[in-house]
Chain A
């Protein structure tokens, strides 16, 4: 009996954790290259808008998904223009990017508020969905969720086992040494910003194409910032990011369920849960901070002529 209650909640956990997982992995990639990008919230919502817009006009959510990545990736490149070309402060540039991204999505999206579009719909994954319990939790979702299952492995493999991944990490650890080894740390960082932004955008797309099938302003509601926190929590490692993202998915699903049940607790207090949890989760990771390994050159610009 209890399973019938728990399986839907855990399935909802996976669903609400998915956009956070995409955004966390994207920001992790950017930070591994040595660039701190606090624009995740702005990139995510701009991506969500791009996804909505292109799906609305082409009718094909895959086009929308791709364009979400491009939209957010372009904002990532703008961060690169400020920090790599013009040597601007990464913290301030990231904040500016959030202000700009939220503003752009809101401004360009105003005519479409409440408009519905097609998107990704859940389907039972062949064979795997018939596994008891596990199938119900993990394999009755949409294509983006299934795609997200593969990502942590791909990210891990890329970062730890490929030449390009190691070159990217070298740009984040020691740009000068990276450069001395004949690699181009500036190029690595451009790639980190664009492709990191691309995945953040996919997280945004999940919100407008799968989680809902419409456009509303302020769709992200702080998920981008939660992703920034989760990168720290995850010690810049993809595996722990999964755990963090589903933890937040769980709390969001739980909060929705409580609200739907008409809990006597006021909704404002329930809505605080994810934000309070972010702080608690970060405290937890700092208390056991031995394994923390932020890229050594995170947030430090590469000056021209060095």
Chain B
């Protein structure tokens, strides 16, 4: 009988991740189709609708690009945290707090000119988002509180806080009881860059460029990488480990906060509870699929934004629930995670003679 054996490679497979991704994508699409087929939906048409909804027309491409902006910003911060092996799952809550901060600025200074109001909104969003990340970071450093759980709990609390304001003091009296603030004044709305794409896209580009320079060209950026590779070594080398943990968390919080601000101001033009739609969780999937690299994060942000937009099309045409996007994200993450095994391990066939020789050898030794 032929046997198999698993052997570790000397070096990781070249181009491995590339092929693994496509194999994983095919596998997760296949399983998703199976699920659709079980529910009696025409899955070939579903695949086409998914593609068409996300990437086929100018309008759908714009939709995808717009959704990729908040995902990208959240994911950059999450990826920097993950590099440090800080498991920040809290981008969702930090995003909500960013939206709250920006809205606070608008509602407090509604008559301020744009040159003053816009920077104030960015500051408030970044500060509140950063605060929402700094508390779990502090709790981890001071009390060894597991940051996965604390950031997650902060997600729930942050979203409820947003709802508290929107259902409470901030509710527009003219909204017929709907939980939403007044429409923002023009001075507080992020305008169009070209077409429906707003200036948030430019913010993404600037942030990505600065982050890239910071990580690759500065001492602190280098320490960030080293700290992630081996926290203990970083500590022995007198690198400020606690400071670095705080830094990545605050950075992620501020970026997620900006994502919340941009969605509120540019897309909805007011604060309402449905500004929170899980971008923070998608960002985790993106960061991991992109293996924490900035350029790949851009690519995967667009891809997963496309998935969300595509599923909206499915919802419209085939009455497929929106949860389908979650299933596909989960499947993709699982298949890619499993597939990465083949980067480092290979499965070798063992012939019968070899196998018996090995068995005899083992027996001889024992």
Contacts and interface: CB of A to CB of B under 8 A. Distances in A.
Interface of A: 38, 42, 78, 81-82, 85-89, 91-93, 95-108, 110, 217, 222, 225, 228-229, 232, 266, 268-269, 271-272, 275-276, 278-279, 282-283, 286-287, 289, 304-305
B119 interface: no
Interface stretch (B139-147, B245-253, B293-301, B358-366): B139-147
Contact of B339 (A86, A96, A106): A86
A82 B340 CA distance: 10
Nearest to B165: A268
Contacts of A102: 323, 326
B85 to A, nearest CB: 9
Contact of A95 (B7, B89, B145, B168): B89
B337 A282 contact: no
Nearest to A289: B144
Contacts of A105: 323
Given A92-B337, A266-B168, A103 B157 contact: no
Contact of A107 (B164, B324, B333, B340): B324
B43 interface: no
A99 B323 contact: no
B42 interface: no
Interface residues of B, number: 50
Contacts of B143: 283, 286-287
A268 B157 CA distance: 9
Contact of A279 (B139, B323, B330): B139
Given A92-B333, A106-B326, 13 more contacts: A42-B330, A88-B334, A88-B340, A93-B334, A97-B330, A99-B285, A102-B323, A103-B323, A104-B330, A222-B156, A229-B149, A272-B160, A272-B161
Interface in B157-188: 157, 160-161, 163-164, 167-168
A280 to B, nearest CB: 10
A219 to B, nearest CB: 13
A100 B334 contact: yes
Given A92-B333, A95-B89, A289-B144, A225 B321 contact: no
B329 A225 contact: no
B152 interface: yes
A278 B89 CA distance: 16
Nearest to B150: A279
B340 A99 contact: no
Given A89-B337, A92-B288, A103-B330, A266 B139 contact: no
10 contacts: A91-B148, A92-B337, A93-B337, A99-B281, A100-B326, A100-B330, A268-B163, A278-B149, A283-B139, A283-B145
Given A38-B148, A266-B168, A87 B35 contact: no
B13 interface: no
A93 B160 CA distance: 27
Nearest to B166: A268
Nearest to B337: A88
A303 to B, nearest CB: 8
Nearest to B328: A103
Contacts of B150: 279, 282
B209 interface: no
B87 A91 contact: yes
B149 A282 contact: yes
A89 B336 CA distance: 11
A90 to B, nearest CB: 10
Interface centre among A93, A96, A286, A289 (most CB of B within 10 A): A96
A268 B324 contact: no
